[in-house]
Amino acid sequence: MKQSLLDFRLKELQEIVKPSFRAKQIYGWLYHNYAQSYDEMSNIPKALKYELSEKYVVNPLKIVKKEISSDGTIKYLFELQDGKTVEAVWLKMKETLTDEAGEVIQEAKYTICVSTQVGCKVGCAFCLTAKGGFTRDLTAGEIVAQVVALKRDNDHKHNRMINIVYMGMGEPLDNLENLARAIEIFKESDGLSISGKRQTVSTSGLSSKIDKLGEMDLGVHIAISLHAVDDELRTELIPMNKAHNISSIIEAVKRFPIDTRKRVMFEYLVIKNKNDDIASAKKLIKLLSGIKAKVNLIYFNPYPGTEYERPDKSDMIAFQEYLVNHGLLCTIRDSKGIDISAACGQLKEQDEFSKAKTKGRE
């Protein structure tokens, strides 16, 4: 595979492209105009474009499929240069607000959920991505390209704010070097200028790498995929818990540099008759004691073949109310894209099944 221009920060591109002002022009084409090919870069000399094209691709992925939900959620399937596929999701978090005259007083707000790996090593029992195993890490450019592609496809101007969550396929901290590079590329003032505070890294709990991420001081938020309040259940759901148990995760979180105005997000996937009872809520309060925490309750999204079930709404509300009444900030995440392939890895799985079926007919 060729390296992508999206793998570089501006200073690095200026070391490759001379004179340096040409690098800045190219950077503008990449991040302000969302150029997908050298042909779109109209003010770049043909000789330079040819020279670069021999070594670098502009865009390392392409959209091969997308599903649009009635709530505005769009799920994308991308094909990489080696034919592997990954997913990303476009999420509308807030609607556009207008005044009585029809003037926009607040633009709609969006979040992009990106993948960091092809497949995943963690092997969570409830996750469809885990069923396909792990193939490889994504490069920084492949991570960045997902955001560029979604902003381009939705006509989202470069200077409009967007939030990024690393919650797609893969364990972000298992690909820490490329993750950190992508975070820095997103922060570039001459590029998309997405600050660290608008980027959230979600991890299943690699405690040692939580420490490493903290030492990098990238200014990002962290979200912990907790999902259980005791090691027995968490090991069932996340086998990696044997090496990184709940206690080690909590201690790593306490060491992580957090903006004093912010809270640490704990993601809690609620599964019917597994972790949706008040006894679990009581244990969760005790577990997070001393941490400025926010708990995000998430409905389990069933997929074909899973043994787990979506919890009842009444149990979700009771769980939330118990936490709130005992002083713990807690929200229930709205289920986005429930009418499409909402579960992580589902669109990829469907695509691969379709290909296999077609091949079998040949």
Neighbours of 294 (CB within 10 A): 16
* Dihedral, 208, 209, 213, 216 alpha carbons, nearest 10: 70
Distances, alpha carbon 31 to alpha carbons 17, 79, 118, 141, 155, in Å: 17, 20, 24, 12, 13
The answer to the question of whether 113 is labelled as a binding residue is no
Task: From 332, 230, 324, select the one nearest 279 (Cα to Cα).
Answer: 230
CA angle 34, 84, 53 (to 5 degrees): 45
The answer to the question of whether 171 is labelled as a binding residue is yes
The answer to the question of whether 178 is labelled as a binding residue is no
Distances, alpha carbon 240 to alpha carbons 130, 155, 206, 232, 246, in Å: 12, 40, 8, 12, 11
With helix as H, strand as E and coil as C, how does 230-250 read? CHHHHHHHCHHHHCCCHHHHH
In the beta sheet, which residues pair with residue 78? 63, 86
Neighbours of 53 (CB within 10 A): 14
The answer to the question of whether 275 is labelled as a binding residue is no
As a whole number of angstroms, the distance between CA 252 and CA 257 comes to: 10
In the beta sheet, which residues pair with residue 111? 91, 163
Distances, alpha carbon 125 to alpha carbons 130, 133, 156, 163, 331, in Å: 8, 12, 36, 28, 24
Residues belonging to the active site:
87, 344
Known binding positions for [4Fe-4S] cluster: 120, 124, 127
Binding residues for S-adenosyl-L-methionine: 170-171, 202, 225-227, 301
| Known binding residues | 120, 124, 127, 170-171, 202, 225-227, 301
